[in-house]
Amino acid sequence: MVRFGIAGFGLHAVKRLMPAFATARNCSVTALTRRDPERARESAREYGIAHAFTSTAELCACSDVDAVFIATPDAMHLADVIEAARHGKPMLVEKPMAMNAAEAQQMVDAARSAGATMGVAHVMRFEPSVRWFRHHIASGAIGTPVLARAAFVAPLLNSARTWIDDPTLATGGPLADIGVHCFDTLRYVLGDDVRSVMAQAHYDSHWSVEASGTTLFQFAGGTLATMSVSARAPYQTLLEIIGENGILSAINALSVDHPVTLEFRRAFEVVETTEVSNANAYTEQVQAFAAAIESGQPFEIPGEVGLQNQRVLDAIFRSVKSGRAETP
């Protein structure tokens, strides 16, 4: 049984992580951190967690913590990873991995130097819907992918994560917060890397970071893909891959809260329709990380994957400013 400490016990921990750990077979939560000591103690009492701390250093020094789940704001990830590495603790880091690729590289280097397992929490890779896309593409069911699109919109203006529009704490707006889910999913299902990006963003008077954004990706294998994200719309996700011989698509393909209907079409013919649930994705993620620790094997989404995504994200923000195509 791997005992986790959650650094940054906020909305994400309450809504996603604690329900995941409650049903996990091989891991549990024994410690947490919150900046306010009384709120830390209250959360520990509410969820039956043995230890409450106000710093990652205290959490990492706790003998009842085997691994650290880093769920603090983006700007704190670098310091938290270095602290966990200093204690030799395996660490699973929320996305986006860092504020920029230079920080992400430091994180990878710190974990490698310490010999500590490091993973990035790209949870969509554990969703049955996403794996359905990946399987069908890899099997050649739609031939060579030529076009793809991913979208993720959500009403984040009044999010309980009050830091997500603070550019000193957040890597960006929806391009970073939910966009990274989209292009990581595209990379995963296509089994390909991004060669170049061209992006635009819209800003409004409510946030300092972008409110909406869109990006055109050119993949190394020739696939052209688009990503659209916004923090100003009712929740919805979309994933579609168009191949030479067919189309795979699903509305709300990335949702963990509702069943997902997956469709495989050739022109006007529906070849396959499948309904799946992604409800256990967060549980599968922590179980997989715990299993990697117990077996001594690398986690399937190592820090290097997060670093590559961070390079793509940096290129997106450079393109927003330059108005030109940029390379990761």
Return the structure tokens found at 9: 């016990």
Mean pLDDT of 102-121: 98
Residue type (1 letter), 230: S
Contact 90, 118 (CB under 8 A): yes
Mean pLDDT of 269-291: 98
Return the structure tokens found at 303: 């820090």
pLDDT per position as a tens digit, 17-57: 999 999 999 999 999 999 999 999 999 999 999 999 999 99
Instruction: Say what the pTM is.
Output: 0.97
Q: Specify the fold of 2-120+282-298.
A: Rossmann fold (3.40.50)
The HSE-up count of residue 130 (CA atoms within 13 Å, CB side) is 25
Given a cut of 90, whether residue 190 has pLDDT beyond it is: yes
Query: 203 Cβ partners below 8 Å, 6+ apart?
Result: 209, 210, 211
Return the structure tokens found at 177: 């917060």
* Delimiting residues of CATH 3.30.360.10 domain(s) in the chain: 124-278
Given a cut of 90, whether residue 88 has pLDDT beyond it is: yes
pLDDT per position as a tens digit, 215-270: 999 999 999 999 999 999 999 999 999 999 999 999 999 999 999 999 999 999 99
Mean pLDDT of 8-13: 96
* Delimiting residues of CATH 3.40.50.720 domain(s) in the chain: 2-120+282-298
Residue 321's pLDDT band, with cuts at 50, 70 and 90, is very high
Given a cut of 90, whether residue 160 has pLDDT beyond it is: no
Contact 137, 191 (CB under 8 A): yes
Residue 174, classed as helix, strand or coil, is helix
Query: CATH second-level architecture of 124-278?
Result: 2-Layer Sandwich (3.30)
